[in-house]
Amino acid sequence: MKSDIIIIGAGPGGYHTAAYAVRHGLSVTIVEKAEAGGTCLNCGCIPTKALCHDAEAVEAATRICGTRPAVDFGKIAARQQEVVAKLRQDVETLLAQTGVTFVRGNAVLKDDHTIVANGEEYQAGNIIIATGSRPKMPPIEGINLPGVMTSTELLAIENLPQSLCIIGAGVIGLEFASVFNSFGCEVTVVEYMKECLPPYDQDISKRVRKAMEKRGIKFVMQAAVKSIAKNGDNLNVCYEYKGKAGETSAEMVLVATGRAANIENIGIETAGIATERGHIIVDDNMQTNIGHVYAVGDVNGRCMLAHAAIMQGIRCVNNILGRNDEIKLDIMPSAVFTNPEAAAVGLTEAQCKEAGMEYTVKKTPFRANGRAVADEADGGLIKLITKNDGTILGCHVCGAHAADIVQEAAALMSLGCTASKLHDITHIHPTIAELLRDSV
């Protein structure tokens, strides 16, 4: 079979790219060895957001009733699976309706125009690798014991553990910590770094941690996990903290220490595709060193976010078509859907200092905002970083609707607007988003 483009992987970077290419007149074959939707839909962003939704309902009921309601985790798990199944079917329908040829199988590159799947050869003018990533497992003694899980396995459990130890305080670790705490699980987070959410501005990450500690989540920072051992029905997680041995015990252990790109067994060596530190090397058009082969999403390691993969896919199709675009891949908002929520775009204050930049910081607390007070969300903070001429360098938020606020800042940054333009933009009242206008 021949097409204009072959895409390996049907995650967000794959199926969105396929649909965009077809809309612009290209024929597309997409090959997926697992389920349509990739990690994000099947065992990542979407199922965790289903859990976040139910966790918010539990927190609301607790606030109103005065006591935490009993949680039927079986119903929560079943609803999560229903959400995933529906959206997976939607992705398959999208591909079918747009005329994309969907092949189930393991694709292996034969050369820069050919892949082999299910014993059949498929050819195309261009190939896009969108194989995503998987949980990275550190070399810890006992990490393969029953009860030690990655996010994929934890999302598949049907019974709520009484206690959970999470190794890693990044986005994945904190979202699970927040959710399982809301469901009534005793949660301990063990992190090697000095602060949680390492990519985030420290004012925001510290605020998130402090808020989660108030909810009863225990954090052990600057601790290196050395081993995991079975102890009756529980697991002992042994760590070293400032030269001293420490230990915590839990029914289950989640390993959330990052993700590794899926570059094995897809024939990149045969095709001569260059890699570095476990990722495929690409230029700003997502093109590899082999002219007709591209790589988008987690597999290239540039930005391991689903929406980054989508925009990278659009960029690479535009390059194939010879079209120019104004996508600014360096302006990439992100969010962590903990309670409280956090989000960010642009440079942190530490990055500005390291670069020797002149900048101004304005911190705007939520406590004076009517909607935040009404929603019992007045502990939040917006941190806006600008140049002296008003150019927005970064926007960092901890609190309710953080992602929505940061999205507005990202739009302004992408359009090259200065912060002063916020004065000319009417914001709906009462909303927490009004605080962004107050930040100037």
Q: Which residues are catalytic?
A: 429
Contact (CB, 8 A) for 13 and 313: yes
Phi-psi region of 349 (alpha: psi -120 to 50; beta: other; left: phi over 0): alpha
- Phi-psi category of 243—alpha, beta or left, where left has phi over 0 and alpha has psi -120 to 50? left
DSSP for residue 287: B
The answer, yes or no, to whether the previous bond of 139 is cis (omega within 30 of 0) is no
Distance CA 143, CA 136 (A): 12
Find out whether 262 and 132 touch, Cβ atoms under 8 Å: yes
Tokens of 331: 């302006």
Strands of 281-420 (E only): list them: 293-295, 334-336, 342-346, 360-365, 381-386, 392-398
| DSSP letter string, 77-146 | HHHHHHHHHHHHHHHHHHHHHHT-EEEES--EEEETTEEEETTEEEEEEEEEE---EEE-----BTTTST
The helix or strand, by DSSP H or E, that contains position 264, with its residue range, turns out to be: none
CB 364 within 8 A of CB 313: no
Q: What angle do CA 209, 212, 215 make, to 5 degrees?
A: 155
The answer to whether 237 and 147 have CB atoms below 8 angstroms apart is no
Please report the sign of the dihedral spanned by the C-alpha atoms of residue 344, residue 345, residue 351, residue 353. Answer: negative
Residue whose C-alpha is closest to residue 301's, from 239, 258, 344: 258
